[in-house]
Amino acid sequence: RVMVSLPDLEERKFIIKIHAKGKPFVKDLNWERVARRTVGYSGADIENMLNEAAIAVAREAREEITSEDIEEAALKVKLGPSKKRLQDKLEKEMTAYHEMGHAIVAHVSPHADPVHRVSIISRGRALGFTLTPPEKDKLQTTQSELLDDIAVLLGGRTAEKQVYNELTAGASSDIQKATKIARAMVMDYGMSELGPINLHTDIDQSYDSLYGEYGKLSERLQEKVDSEIQKFIAEGQKRAESILKKYAKELKNLSEKLIELESIDGEEFERLMGMKKAKKA
């Protein structure tokens, strides 16, 4: 696997300073906040973000780039341009409940990252999105964080089922990501009951007890791997269901607010839900 090194906070500040030169920003722009907003962005992403913000301002014949311009440019770089798609009333409602399901599970889960924005404005192939970027650069991820990530990913699907007793195909990407995390927990990180065993196929041929035909897991071991993956997914599903049942009133109220506004930023979301508890050590 190729590991891509992304710039840390100080490196991002330096990159932002370079690509901000010659661009007309408002005087009171919070550059520290911009730098923290770009956790997980490459140098090219940051350059594209600031260029997109400048292009948008020039297109609208405005003189200065604001924090809102940078936020829109950041969303465009990561998620694609916003699209006005025709949605009927039910489809719009279900999208709002789906996204708010993600947001509420993230907000309540102690090891999940805070909600930055929830939206039912379509971008790319998605009808809506919930952003929960890390608050800071992370060099390590814990089992508790991964379990909460799975629950958050399944929160949208869970909200659909809870409110409409129906499921949509919109959760396919969430399911794929949740399964990928669960599989890595079992096969890469040794976090399942199978223990700290390398379960990938690029190992020495001498491991006959684990592997049948070289390059393949034995049928018996593959069944165990699948079972452990299913356990993590089931646990995440159970967590999401428990949270959304407890916060059913908030799910309804905030989804209705999202339908009205189409996009809610992290500060407004926390005002409506209450401050997120600090992560447990």
Residues tagged active-site: 99
Q: How many CA atoms lie within 13 A of 211 on its CB side?
A: 16
Report how far apart, in Å, the C-alpha atoms of 16 and of each of 34, 38, 74, 131, 137 are. Answer: 9, 10, 13, 21, 16
* Nearest residue to 160 (alpha-carbon basis) of 148, 147, 175: 175
Q: How far apart are CA 4 and CA 46, in angstroms?
A: 16
Q: How far apart are CA 73 and CA 55, in angstroms?
A: 9
User: With the CA atoms of 175, 181, 183 and 185 taken in that order, what torsion angle do they form, in degrees rounded to the nearest 10?
Assistant: -150
Q: How far apart are CA 204 and CA 196, in angstroms?
A: 16
